[in-house]
Structure 1
Amino acid sequence: MATEEYGSVWARPKRNRRREQPALTQEQIVGAAIKLLDANGLEALTMRKLGVELGAVATAVYWHVATKDELMELVVDHVYAEIDVPEVSTKVEWREAATKCAQGFRGMILRHPWMGATLADVGLTLLGPNMLRRSDQMLAIYETAGFSLREANHASTAVVSFVVGLASTEAAAVSKIKRSGLSAEEWMTKVWPAAQQAAEAYPRVKALYDEYTARDAAENDDEVFDYGLACVLDGLAARLS
């Protein structure tokens, strides 16, 4: 329906075009921006392309966001709301809550691969309501565990840094495969023989590659993530004791 209306507007005389531009909301703009980013990465997001996606001229977007940087702040804050942060209770202890939160954080980055590079770049300069709410909930996990508020911040930062660091690497691989136009299975079939051949002179790496060949790539990634997260949480638990 929207496409038909957009087409009919541009079929009318030129003098009516500006007046007939569809009304936009900030929610629509953010949603369209996320769609572009998910499809083609950070390079795909320009105000002109966003206008095309929305069926409006780029200038119409500027009524709601002043700059592309401001748009990215809104987009990142919107996506941040996808992270599920369990509340520590009699049924959910702090370590379980921290694990589920970390897994949810990783899942969010893998669903939106551009988020890894974005979070690594902006750090704590983004202070939207969703980001602040999730940060407060994460602090509650570690404070409930027994850390002081300051130490809870250190603990939360350690876990988030691990998640963003590892998930960003995974997300970069996802983006590279997507740009190739191949499926994950096709990509591995293409590059794996060369990787194995290059590792022939390095017995441990070769043995590791051979072991990984027999398993699903996603299963390997999950194992690496779970192992690293467990190490971080083991360290935090040791500090508590």
Structure 2
Amino acid sequence: MAATPQRRPRRPRGSLNQQAITEAALRIADRDGMDALTFEALGRELEAHPTAIYRHFRDKDELLLALVDALHARTTAGGLPVTDDWTADLRTVAGRIHEAFLAHPQVGQLVAARTARRQHEFEVVEHILGCMRRAGLDEEEAGRCYRVFADAVLAYSSMDAALHALDAPTRDADLLAWHVDYRKLPAEAYPNLAATVDHIPPLDSPDSFALLVDLLIAAIKARAEAH
């Protein structure tokens, strides 16, 4: 006699919401990659029918924007400090953005150019603009420097996330290339590389992101003093 198939437990009615779906989406992306993130996969993860997901998100792109804001939520968790040192506050928020993208690299590699237009993103923008104004920039310069600073931090964080999202053999080959392939190049053809190759940091060096932020802050200081 054939065994009766066991029915999976279903979520209690009304227990599904955007936060639960977003958290499940992050788990799927972290575990299986963004290509595996479908509404069917979300249904399985949440023990709910896929049509229930559509009641909260119209499509995958709307879900992706929620994931963008989930990274911003990680950035703002516990509050962003406002001190008497705007440069330290900029370093803090930049570091938190970077950490959030690396915590979820499958998502982080894709979302730098997207605008979530949600609460936590608004909070990050407000905080960075506050730092710019405390630096002494007027409204126009604050807006322009905000855009360059934020986009540079997001872009670099996304690039680092993309490196971490690679499968291990591919990532290791790219990292090794700077130790092997670049050192084999003839000095007469590539004199600048030959002179500096031993001093170029690895692709995954955390010091490079810190240097990026320092260079951006130095430029902001110079513009503030010029005005």
Matches of 2:208 and 2:111, distance apart in 1 = 23
Verify the 8 A CA contact 1:87 1:141 in the aligned structure 2.
no
- Counterpart check, 1:240 vs 2:224: yes
Alignment partner of 1:204 out of 169, 192, 209: 192
Verify the 8 A CA contact 1:81 1:134 in the aligned structure 2.
no
Q: Which residue of 2 aligns with 1:11?
A: 6
TM-score (norm 1): 0.75
Q: Which residue of 2 aligns with 1:5?
A: none
Structure 1 residue runs of 5 or longer lacking an equivalent are: 1-9
Matches of 1:216 and 1:51, distance apart in 2 = 41
Q: Which residue of 2 aligns with 1:6?
A: none
- Map 1:214-233 → 2, pairs under 5 A: 218=204, 221-233=205-217
Structure 2 residue runs of 5 or longer lacking an equivalent are: none
Q: Which residue of 2 aligns with 1:42?
A: 34
Q: CA 1:173 to 1:131, structure 2 compared with 1: closer, same or farther past 3 Å?
A: same
CA shift, 1:199, in A, is 6.5
Q: CA 1:78 to 1:209, structure 2 compared with 1: closer, same or farther past 3 Å?
A: same
Amino acid at match of 1:143: R
CA shift, 1:115, in A, is 2.1
CA shift, 1:211, in A, is 3.8
Matches of 2:36 and 2:48, distance apart in 1 = 17
Aligned length: 215
Higher helix content, 1 or 2: 1
Q: Which residue of 2 aligns with 1:109?
A: 101
Matches of 2:145 and 2:203, distance apart in 1 = 30
Q: Deviations over 1:142-174 (max 9, x none)?
A: 122222233222222111111122222222211
Q: CA 1:134 to 1:205, structure 2 compared with 1: closer, same or farther past 3 Å?
A: same
Structure 1 segments (4+ residues) deviating >6 Å: 184-187
Q: Which residue of 1 aligns with 2:11?
A: 22
Q: Which residue of 2 aligns with 1:94?
A: 86
Matches of 2:28 and 2:196, distance apart in 1 = 38
CA shift, 1:98, in A, is 0.9
Verify the 8 A CA contact 1:33 1:45 in the aligned structure 2.
yes
Q: Deviations over 1:79-101 (max 9, x none)?
A: 21111464433xx4111111111
Q: Which residue of 1 aligns with 2:165?
A: 175
- Counterpart check, 1:81 vs 2:73: yes
Q: Which residue of 2 aligns with 1:132?
A: 122
Q: What's the RMSD between the two structures over aligned residues? A: 2.9
CA shift, 1:136, in A, is 1.3
TM-score (norm 2): 0.79
**Identity across the alignment (%):** 24
Verify the 8 A CA contact 2:87 2:217 in the aligned structure 1.
yes
